[in-house]
Amino acid sequence: MKSCSAFFVLLWLTSANAQPAAPANTPIVAKSTYHPDNSHSETVVDKTTNELIESTYNAGGALVAKKHYLLNERGLPTQGHIYDGRGNLVARSQVYFDSYGRAQEMRSFNLSGQCYQQVVYEYGSDGKAKPPKVINVDPRLAPSMKPGVIDFTNTAAPGQMMPQQAPQPPPEQPKPKSFWKRMFGPKEKK
């Protein structure tokens, strides 16, 4: 999963700062990146289908991971699937944008729907991107987050206090029968 987080950071940095090497009317752009551990990645961006596919190979040339992302109109990834070297789906990712159309957060989910990684993007007052913050979470140890329901029907007008509701008494327990009623009263069916 550490290589996955490195990929997200690398993907974000390259998409934020990269200039296209090919003319703007070229529908497919491909790029190879060689890493210090002798592995390499091949990235193909298809502008006609707005897809990005990155294949990562180890030093021996075997496919280790494949990532397939859908791109928005600005060429930024919006959602994607991550596969292992055998083509098995291992994770999904979703990107959330702010009101300016900039990436705000990328979340990666395992196949159970649990978020195991968040990449938070922040921007300075000048609008330039700050280094992203990567938060790795072990979903087995973290409490599950579930959506909650908020009741907006009991809202007060500005400046007014909310009326306090009286606490509800606990439900009354039935009175136990007296000794004589238990002995001589009607029999209860079970």
Higher pLDDT, 31 or 173: 31
Examine the pLDDT at 72 and tell me if it is beyond 80: yes
Dist. CA 55–CA 69, nearest whole Å: 12
Give the per-residue pLDDT at 77: 92
Residue 148, pLDDT > 50, answer no
Nearest residue to 129 (alpha-carbon basis) of 108, 102, 149: 102
Average pLDDT, the chain: 78
Residue 76 identity: L
Q: How far apart are CA 51 and CA 69, in angstroms?
A: 6
- What three-state secondary structure class fits 29? strand
Report which of residues 181 and 103 the model is more confident about.
Answer: 103
Residues 77-96, mean pLDDT to the nearest whole number: 93
Cα atoms in the 13 Å half-sphere on the side-chain side of 23 = 2
What's the rounded Cα separation, in Å, for the pair 59 and 43?
17
Q: Which residues, at least 6 apart from 16, have a Cβ–Cβ distance to it below 8 Å?
A: 103, 129
The pairing of strands 77-84 and 63-71 is antiparallel
The average pLDDT across 123-152 equals: 74
